[in-house]
Structure 1
Amino acid sequence: MLRFPGQPGQPGQPGQGPLTPDDIVIGPLDLATRIDEALNVQAVAFGLGADEIAVRRQIVLRHLTFPGARALGATTPGGRLAGFVYGMPNDRSHWWSTVVEPYLREQGQDGWLDHSFVITELHVHPDFQNRGAGRALITTITDGAAEPRSILSAIDTESPARGLYRSLGYEDLAVQVLFPSAPKPYAVMGAPLPLRRR
């Protein structure tokens, strides 16, 4: 069961009862403080090595300085970080935008780079996948966005992550997008906000 801050049954509320071992709480995450724990989740979920994680650590810390950057965590009753998401209002001057813009422009979709909340990273540890944590993380963070739509990139293959994004209303805007040093092509996807619910 997933619980959110302020939701009935939240720990610390009188008379609501304790969480069960399967409960995961979705709430704000101080990503800078818990960066190593978050990157460990990403490493396991995404199959990254120590060198890749060291590079991503600096990237994440830089991203957190951008205006409007926000992070949420999925935390177990014992305080373990089961997953995380972070994102920010998109800016065409950001590196990611400069890479995807030609692909989007070729498809007549580069307007998506404006007035969009970009999901920069979303990862759930394999021990906690298929319990709704990823869905809860992305819907909760985008529910707090001022922008009318959201964009993200995902490896361009039919994966559970891509299926999740489609179920939320994301559609392919460009495919076979190549990022420098990335071994596989990506797809850029976009969805109107709020995201579709089941």
Structure 2
Amino acid sequence: MDLVIGPLDLSAHVDEALAVQAVAFGLGPDEVAVRRQIVLRHMASPGARAYGASTADGRLAGFVYGMPNDRAHWWSTVVEPYLRALRNDAWLDDSFVITELHVHPAYQNRGAGRGLITTITDTAAQPRSILSAIDTESPARALYRSLGYQDLARRVLFPSAPRPYVVMGASLPLLRRRPITDFRPRRADG
């Protein structure tokens, strides 16, 4: 991967991060303005942290941020009834929430998303992680599944969101791919 992953002062780089999110998620200027205030509020939460994937010349190509879950936060209040209906609401306790993860399309499929989410969850004190994603089969959902995330509730509706979401959860640490160096070819003579 030609990107470097490291801690990100998201409050100081919020506009750069939201520019990545706007391209990756298809957001318009009004949505970006609303999300800017949300990101700044989130980053003031206890335990909130962010990581960025940067190019060699220092441009932000992707970012992730999250925090320990708090049942009083808006996101938890929306997803809790869906999780409770499936007896999965205990996942809201002692979990680290991946609030946002976005990689600029020009840098997708290079391992940046995997690197960002494993880096941030490796620093979590909680034993598990939860997140929400658009409830459709997508590269993001495939990535999350490959890391050990499982569906906890589907068809979750957020106010003003045009499409339903899925809430996913995984035990930490997240699963890792076996390195190719662990591959042992079968001998031709045996």
The answer for the alignment partner of 2:153 in structure 1 is: 174
| Aligned residue among 82, 85, 92 for 2:61 | 82
Unpaired segments ≥5 residues, structure 1? 2-22
1:1-198 matches, within 5 Å, as 1=1, 23-198=2-177
TM-score, normalization: structure 1? Answer: 0.89
Q: Secondary structure at the match of 1:93?
A: coil
The aligned amino acid for 2:137 is E
Unpaired segments ≥5 residues, structure 2? 178-190
Q: Secondary structure at the match of 1:108?
A: coil
Q: Secondary structure at the match of 1:100?
A: helix
Residues 99-122 of structure 1: CA distance to partner in whole angstroms, max 9, x if unpaired?
000000000000000000000000
Q: CA deviation at 1:158?
A: 0.1
Q: Secondary structure at the match of 1:83?
A: strand
Rounded to whole Å, the distance in 1 between the matches of 2:9 and 2:65 is: 10
Rounded to whole Å, the distance in 2 between the matches of 1:117 and 1:31 is: 18
Rounded to whole Å, the distance in 2 between the matches of 1:49 and 1:37 is: 15
Rounded to whole Å, the distance in 2 between the matches of 1:131 and 1:155 is: 21
Q: CA deviation at 1:91?
A: 0.4
Q: CA deviation at 1:31?
A: 0.4
Rounded to whole Å, the distance in 2 between the matches of 1:196 and 1:62 is: 31
Rounded to whole Å, the distance in 1 between the matches of 2:33 and 2:75 is: 19
Runs of 4 or more, structure 1, over 3 Å off, are none
The answer for the alignment partner of 2:184 in structure 1 is: none
The answer for the alignment partner of 2:182 in structure 1 is: none
The aligned amino acid for 2:57 is G
**Identical amino acids, percent of aligned pairs:** 80
Q: Secondary structure at the match of 1:86?
A: strand
RMSD of aligned C-alpha atoms? 0.3
Q: CA deviation at 1:59?
A: 0.3
Number of residue equivalences: 177
Q: Secondary structure at the match of 2:132?
A: strand
